[in-house]
Amino acid sequence: MNPLQRRQAEKIVKSQNRLPPGQSLTEKFPVLHYGPVPQYSADLSEWDLRVFGLVEKEVRWTWADIQKLPRHSLTMDIHCVTRWSKFDTQWEGISLKTLVDEGFITPLPEANFIIQHGEHGFTTNLPIEAMYEDNFLLATHFEGKPITADHGYPLRGIVGSFADRSESGTAYFWKGAKWMRALEFRADDQLGFWERNGYHNEADPWQEQRFSGRF
């Protein structure tokens, strides 16, 4: 896409009310993260996902277990706090709400927040109801292929917006953790890595909630 085509495409999504303020359309998929890219064995034999905290029963799923969980496909727009937006991205993975509805996870009534734990101690936080929404996914695939290592392989959180209801119920892209290793259900909120370092706790791109003012 040349610059003229990009500007034309950006004008279209803006007219559709899909481009949040301060954002620009990109056809690329920029790589942004803190720390090194984790390396895993080819068969992921040392990888697992832990679900703990305010749940009836803690679980640990191996990669083989993950393959047996119900799967969903979504097409969403994604918005990064560094001011790029990418439209009509295709994802495949696992719906947290489905896991709860079908009894794979049973949160306790007092659970109000979920902390996503990634490799290297990275965390990010969301209210439990936000992670139950249709636009949150525990993603394994992007555009029909496994997520690449620098984008969070083998599992990452994805929060985006749908073309027909883009202005509500979404967050900047950092609110989905790369290289996910655990989900912690909590009664109280706990700021994640970027939230502790000055980024907004709610992170609504339509409100330009980029920074908290704690710098």
pLDDT tens-digit readout, 139-192: 999 999 999 999 999 999 999 999 987 766 899 999 999 999 999 999 999 999
Q: Assess if residue 93 is contained within a domain.
A: yes
* β pairing state of 84-94 and 113-118: unpaired
- DSSP class of residue 173 equals G
Q: Assess if residue 3 is contained within a domain.
A: no
Q: State pLDDT tens for residues 103-134.
A: 999 999 999 999 999 999 999 999 999 999 99
Is 90 or 35 the better-scoring residue by pLDDT? Answer: 90
Q: Assess if residue 11 is contained within a domain.
A: no
Q: Assess if residue 26 is contained within a domain.
A: no
Burial of 189 (0-12, 13-18, 19+ CB in 10 A): middle
Q: Assess if residue 23 is contained within a domain.
A: no
Torsion angle of C-alpha atoms 52, 57, 58, 62, degrees rounded to 10: -130
Burial of 142 (0-12, 13-18, 19+ CB in 10 A): buried
Q: Assess if residue 149 is contained within a domain.
A: yes
Q: Assess if residue 105 is contained within a domain.
A: yes
Could you tell me the pLDDT band of residue 75, with boundaries at 50, 70 and 90?
very high
In CATH, what number is assigned to the domain containing residue 74? 3.90.420.10
Q: State pLDDT tens for residues 22-31.
A: 999 999 999 9
Q: Say if residues 126 and 105 touch (Cβ distance below 8 Å).
A: no
Q: Assess if residue 36 is contained within a domain.
A: no
Number of domains within the chain:
1
pLDDT for residue 215: 47
Question: What token pair was written down for 90?
Answer: 């295709």
Question: What token pair was written down for 13?
Answer: 């999504």
What range defines the domain where residue 163 resides? 47-207
